[in-house]
A and B are shown apart, each in its own frame.
Chain A
Amino acid sequence: MTSSTTESPVTVEEEVLYSSTVTAVGEQVATFVEGHGILVFFGVDSPVELHDFSALHEATVATAGPRTGDVIELGGARIPVLAVGSVVEANLLNLGHIDLKANGAPEADMPGDVNLPVDTLVVPSAGDTFRILRPAGPVASPEDRS
């Protein structure tokens, strides 16, 4: 199911925690991304009322959610994760749901937030690959997951 389009190569030192392919992009996604710096994903099985503002995706790897210091890769762009709320992993693994916020903030305001640097999000396209990558070696400390 992995997209055959070009992806930035994963070095052997990175672990792929999550990998999916975008299957559809709702009409409101551009407004969320360009107006609010927010990109919402849901799994393809999510209720239809959530599809308008969501990028739907289908995962082939789903082992863990992100934590501070991981890298979000979307459509070939690599974006560092600044902070992660407490319910992000459960929502991602259970529902395929994740809220990316390009707010540059060092702490997650809401339990579902994944903070990224400002102006790092673009509107995805169907067929794009979404991945969460974890560098090998020393990892972020546990309190970063609070």
Chain B
Amino acid sequence: MSDYKSVTISKGRGGWGGPLVITPTADKPLIYSVTGGGIHPVAARIAELTGGQAFDGFKSSAPFDKIAVAVIDCGGTARVGVYPMKKVMTVDVHATSPAGPLASFIKEEIFVSGVGVNDVVEK
């Protein structure tokens, strides 16, 4: 399965962390959108450029070992830490920085925030 491509995801205005390079694989194909209102445009863009599979976390659950990247619209407390804690690459569309009870898990190697559609580019 060599059909997947890589993208670089950089922090947007006021954001923190990254850049992250995301490359889905046959084992980890999912672009996991844990956001309100269905698949977020940032998740859709990552899926479009990489060939990964956009997945709505509020519709059904995904096994963590299938997730290439989680896209969240977290306001800074909970989701920002949950996915990094589980070693999942995490993209927050809001401009948050490490905070909250799970802040110690939020590292620039695994987390980037303030990300808009234009911050996702082909590598």
A binding-site residues for B, Cβ under 8 Å: 31-32, 35-36, 38, 40, 45-50, 53-54, 85, 87-88, 90-91, 93-95, 97, 99, 101, 109-113
Contacts and interface: CB of A to CB of B under 8 A. Distances in A.
A99 B83 CA distance: 17
B7 interface: no
Contacts of B78: 40, 50, 53-54, 97, 99
A38 B79 CA distance: 14
Contacts of B76: 85, 99, 109-113
Contacts of A47: 34, 57-58, 61
B61 A48 contact: yes
A45 B100 CA distance: 23
Given A85-B75, A91-B36, A111-B76, 12 more contacts: A35-B101, A36-B100, A40-B77, A47-B34, A49-B83, A53-B82, A90-B36, A94-B36, A110-B77, A110-B100, A111-B95, A112-B77
Given A45-B58, A47-B58, A111-B94, A38 B77 contact: yes
Contacts of A53: 78, 82, 101
7 contacts: A38-B100, A50-B79, A53-B78, A53-B82, A54-B78, A85-B75, A93-B36
Contacts of A97: 78
Interface string B31-73: 0001011000000000000000000011001001000000001
B9 interface: no
Contacts of B57: 47
Contacts of A113: 75-77
Contacts of B26: none
Contacts of A110: 75-77, 96, 99-100
Contacts of A91: 36, 73, 75
A111 to B, nearest CB: 5
